[in-house]
Amino acid sequence: MKTLVASLILFSATVVYITIANKNTKQMTTKQKILKAFYPIIMWAGKSKKEAVYNSNQIKPLVDFYSFKIELNDGNILDMSTLKGKKVILVNTASDCGFTAQYENLEKLYQQKKERIIIIGFPANDFAQQEKKKDIEIAQFCKKNYGVQFPLAKKGVVIKNKNQQEIYKWLTDKSLNGWNEKAPSWNFCKYIIDENGVLVCFLPSATDPLGKEMKNALGLN
């Protein structure tokens, strides 16, 4: 009987917690609400994985980063050459991932530093089919629930295969970027490009956009 009561109390507390954590969400599925509520735990658990890779020798790319153009999810084209002089963060994103709540801190970082930093999200369905939405649905989801204003690319492929987007081929091929071969290992991996078009580092999913490691990589400390 005591075990049953304890289980009911735990269940009730969990329901209340999820409800409070999602008081400002709109048109989220039950799964999305649960993932958002337990995002802090997911982030904490993921920090034990040390996957970050840095361009410690400051190797320059063999193919110019600024030669690329990206189709955004609204059909417009973003020319990378217009981003010269800014740091660029490229993030592969998904709506049904445990790290989806990172949209909030990515947007905060963008709003705080958009004179110096541009963030570009790359929605992809490459990991556990966690981004099944269409482009317009993705944009609406991000805007309504996380206030996202930074650019989102047209949904595509970020992992290494024949359909991989050109910009991600550059990011994951050292014959193009000069040194890095590491592809995204899950949703919300980050690549940072400096003001001169040099790939600075790869940061794993559990890297908080407002955390110390990100700030160090961006030179904000």
Express each pLDDT in 89-105 by its tens digit. 999 999 999 999 999 99
Q: For the residues 115-142, what does the mean pLDDT come to? A: 97
Task: For residue 49, give every residue at least 6 positions away whose Cβ sits within 8 Å of its Cβ, in sequence order, or none.
Answer: 204, 206
| Cα 111 to Cα 108: distance, rounded to the nearest angstrom | 5
Region of 80 (left: φ > 0; alpha: ψ -120 to 50; beta: rest) is alpha
pLDDT number for residue 137: 97
User: pLDDT digit string (tens) for 66-93?
Assistant: 999 999 999 999 999 999 999 999 999 9
Check if 97 is active-site: yes
Which two three-digit tokens encode residue 151? 């650019």
Q: Strands 190-193 and 199-203, how do they pair?
A: antiparallel
The pTM score is 0.85
- Tell which residue, 208, 207, 190, has the closest CA to residue 199: 190
* Active-site pick, 97, 142, 189, 201: 97
